[in-house]
Structure 1
Amino acid sequence: MEWSNRRKRLSSVQIIILFYAFSVVTASLLLKIPLFHNPGIELSLIDAFFTAISAISVTGLTVVNTAETFNVWGRLVLIVIFQIGGIGIMALGTFLWILLGRSIGLEQRRWIAIDHNRSTLSGLVALMLTILKLALIIEAIGTVILGLYFYYSNVISTWHAAMFYGFFSSVSAFTNAGFDIFGNSLMRFHDDHFVQTVHMLLIILGAIGFPVLIEIQENWKNYWTNKRIQFSLFTKITSLTYFGLLGLGAVVFYLLERNHFLADKSPIDSFFYSLFNSVTSRSGGLATMDFNALTDPTLFFISLLMFIGASPSSVGGGIRTTTFVVILLTIVIYMRGRTEIKIFRRELHPEDINKAIIVFIFATNIVIASVFFIMVVEGFSMVQIIFEVTSAFGTCGSSLGITPYLSSPSKILLMILMFIGRVGIIPFLLLLKRDEKKTGFHYLKERIIVG
């Protein structure tokens, strides 16, 4: 009864964040158990906690080598954690509720809406089941393709081990977790364009956003039944921004590195290095090269891509693609002396514009503050710290290798950034929100000088 009363006093946002916090604690305790470690490995509590948050937030920043630290059972635990963080705790919870014959009430629907950034409560149960089905199908296809390839190309000698490597790689790529069990990310496949292509497709499918995937599925059915094909404004903006940034990232990477890292590479290798880094820098976290080989301007540009991150309602973090494009459009319309954002014959809601501005300002401030703090307490360069901080906030997982050498305060700060990146900035800001009390009056409005 006491827990029930306390739960009623908690907002839906607070409950969702508590769910993820509880998942992190549980995952930390599991990863600390020696049963899941390779012989002779002992994981400290802070390293277990860091790994758990990185896995729940599907980031991929690690302070230990996954391949050397965890055995098969430990890797299976990590896969489960990826699914919780990537697909979402409420999608899996909805499936369990239905499996147990439990009814899903209004309160649970509010939790689902917050977890997946939805503004309406209608159709949420069907949405969660569709998300779960799509995720499992995509991961299964990726598992079969990669598993068979690893086996028949003699990457892995036994078929069952090859399929397990394919399974782990597929889930890690689709959820954009960025973990690997090869020991050096995908560097051994730096010239294997097939493996890179499969991983890029999985990363894109996870980062483009579940609403986009669902609309593509529905319109695919409409195409074969001669029904009208129509995409929402969200899907149009998200897809255009995501793939626009992907193409821009590849071009800029090539231009910045063509006389440096790519100077001795063939045209096809240069193309794949540029494209793969653009894809993985949005949230994937996997690498086919050592980022320390890149120039500072390239590392800073990749940091900007990680800061923007993936699409809303996806497995990725960052400020999200829609926030980025709304900020740009807001600047453009102000320059043109207009007040409304019109795009694709639709007009954006003022509340969504305000949310985008709030998210951008808050994200910029916490990233700057985090960079400043780590610069004070650590001895690494500014570029290295910016890269690591934006990687944590964007739940990307790309690294210059300095994370294991950070002090405990800096590691804790990165953990906080990863957690915020997973739950989202808006829910995090609403964590302490209280019910508004109407005052019944307004003060006189007065203009001030800004800008």
Structure 2
Amino acid sequence: MIVHRKRLIQRLSPTQFIILGYLAVILIASVLLYMPFSVKESAELSWFEALFTSTSAVSVTGLTVVNTYETFTPIGNLILLILFQIGGIGIMTLGTFVWILFGRSVTLTHRRWIMIDQNRSSLAGLVRLLRHVFFLAFAIELIGAVIFSVYFYAAGYVSTWSRAVYEGFYHSIASFTNSGFDIFPGSMTQFADDYFVQIVTALLIILGAIGFPVLIEVREYLFGKHEHFHFSLFTKLTALTYLLLFILGALSLWLIERDLYFADMAWHEKWFHAFFHSVTTRSAGFAVLDVNELSAASHFLMSILMFIGASPSSAGGGIRTTTFIVIILTLGAYLLGRREVRIFRRSIKQEDIIKSFVVFTAATMLLVLSIVFIDSTENSRFSLHQVIFEVCSAFGTTGLSSGLASRLLPISQGVLMILMFLGRIGLLSILFHFMPLRRREAFHYPKEDIIIG
């Protein structure tokens, strides 16, 4: 029996194993969340709602069909916290770390699993990467938890230290893993005028969304013993793209809403709201204002930011920042008549350029089909920009909602669950699963020009 099970596991591709692993966690967690010990006596929760919540938590999205604060007990919230960690850090990262703690060796099969789970293209240095990811995540979450716990109690948001620690740890982990879940009575709207909470939350979101490889390189730069340290092209591109999208997002939100939703606010309120929602739109899903009150133009802008999402090998989803910037650089190079795509005195590989366009095209087709399906299934009873917003939020594993998710039919909610799951696994990993093994072509056909455009 054991031998048969091992052979079955060995037959699975790394992508298949990762997908089955996440599906197993989602199903088990849905049953646990449905149990009476996870649900408050005053609340009602169907198994389908528990499944949706479990999928959202594992994919660190934050879209919900029930109110987390009003529905789940401390045990239910603890289950959600564990799911955030599994989804944010990676199921194979956590699993292999436990494996190492028990003194087991990390085999080639384990390394392949970690490579897919962390969206890496090489087996080299994966165990070292795993250790760095785990300890960095733990350290950042712990620091955030201490800051929030002390502040929540000192600022009078809670009356007891136990509650302050509980909310502090929960919010720190939810922020760093970009899960978007909260356990505050009025969600994060109670912090609309508290810039300290917004800044710390935004910093944790950025650290979780910028990508673990970037964090590891920054750590090496600050604390490593290197005389001539050089950041990789990946880190430079990721940091630059994230910064540009953050600035453009905040500036655009301010320009769109300054005479609309932000009209009666002081100048600093306008900028902080624009700043915070530019950060949270990228991956986290927290909101300190009612998203429904924003204009359709803002919804469309935020949908674009959610579609792009966070960086590769991070807690976020979407097509990823590197995919977006490689496409932009390729278009720029083509307009300038260059044969190579260059930046920071480096040339981007042709294979990576093709991957970027494949991911972008596949994601666009997937989202268009999902939008059309949901809109037709719901008989167009919701505005199209609301449907677009919800679909992009699910795919980008963001969790911002116009309140649509809980009002959709079960079949439409099922589409959102699929999008959340695909957003967490990553389209490239899914597409890679269907890619045949590379082999030398036995022959080539003659090339012929076609008319484009």
TM-score in terms of structure 1 length: 0.97
Matched, 1:349 2:341: no
Amino acid at match of 2:150: L
CA deviation after TM superposition for structure 1 residue 438, in Å: 5.5
> Is the CA contact 1:282–1:305 (under 8 Å) kept in the aligned structure 2?
yes
Distance of 2:26 and 2:61 partners within structure 1 = 13
Distance of 1:437 and 1:201 partners within structure 2 = 45
Distance of 1:25 and 1:446 partners within structure 2 = 51
Distance of 1:413 and 1:147 partners within structure 2 = 37
Count of aligned positions: 449
Determine the structure 2 residue equivalent to 1:38.
40
Counterpart among 180, 183, 203 of residue 182 in structure 2 = 180
Structure 1 residues 409-420: aligned runs within 5 Å: 409-420=411-422
CA deviation after TM superposition for structure 1 residue 185, in Å: 2.4
Counterpart among 211, 214, 217 of residue 215 in structure 1 = 217
Distance of 2:44 and 2:440 partners within structure 1 = 56
SS of residue paired to 1:231: coil
CA deviation after TM superposition for structure 1 residue 230, in Å: 1.6
CA distance 1:434–1:8, change in 2 (3 Å): farther
CA deviation after TM superposition for structure 1 residue 151, in Å: 0.7
**CA deviation map 1:185-236 (0-9, x unaligned):** 21011001111111001000100110111111000024xx572232110000
Distance of 1:158 and 1:106 partners within structure 2 = 49
Give the ranges of 4+ consecutive aligned residues of structure 1 lying more than 6 Å apart after TM superposition: none
Matched, 1:156 2:158: yes
Structure 1 residues 273-288: aligned runs within 5 Å: 273-288=273-288
Determine the structure 2 residue equivalent to 1:374.
374
TM-score in terms of structure 2 length: 0.97
Counterpart among 426, 429, 434 of residue 427 in structure 1 = 429
> Is the CA contact 1:60–1:178 (under 8 Å) kept in the aligned structure 2?
yes
> Is the CA contact 1:143–1:169 (under 8 Å) kept in the aligned structure 2?
yes
> Is the CA contact 1:94–1:129 (under 8 Å) kept in the aligned structure 2?
no
**CA deviation map 1:124-165 (0-9, x unaligned):** 111111111000110001111101111111101110111110
Amino acid at match of 2:99: W
Matched, 1:230 2:236: no
Determine the structure 1 residue equivalent to 2:99.
97
Distance of 2:337 and 2:195 partners within structure 1 = 48
Structure 1 residues 264-303: aligned runs within 5 Å: 264-303=264-303
Counterpart among 196, 202, 205 of residue 204 in structure 2 = 202
CA deviation after TM superposition for structure 1 residue 308, in Å: 0.5
Determine the structure 2 residue equivalent to 1:190.
192
CA deviation after TM superposition for structure 1 residue 437, in Å: 6.2
SS of residue paired to 2:388: helix
Unpaired stretches in structure 1, ≥5 consecutive residues: none
Determine the structure 2 residue equivalent to 1:116.
118
Determine the structure 1 residue equivalent to 2:9.
7
Distance of 2:24 and 2:150 partners within structure 1 = 37
Distance of 2:133 and 2:226 partners within structure 1 = 25
Calculate percent identity across the aligned residue pairs: 52
CA distance 1:229–1:436, change in 2 (3 Å): closer
Distance of 1:143 and 1:297 partners within structure 2 = 36
Distance of 1:423 and 1:288 partners within structure 2 = 28
> Is the CA contact 1:24–1:56 (under 8 Å) kept in the aligned structure 2?
yes
Q: CA RMSD in A?
A: 1.3
**CA deviation map 1:55-80 (0-9, x unaligned):** 00000000000001101111111000
SS of residue paired to 1:185: strand
CA deviation after TM superposition for structure 1 residue 339, in Å: 2.2
SS of residue paired to 1:164: helix
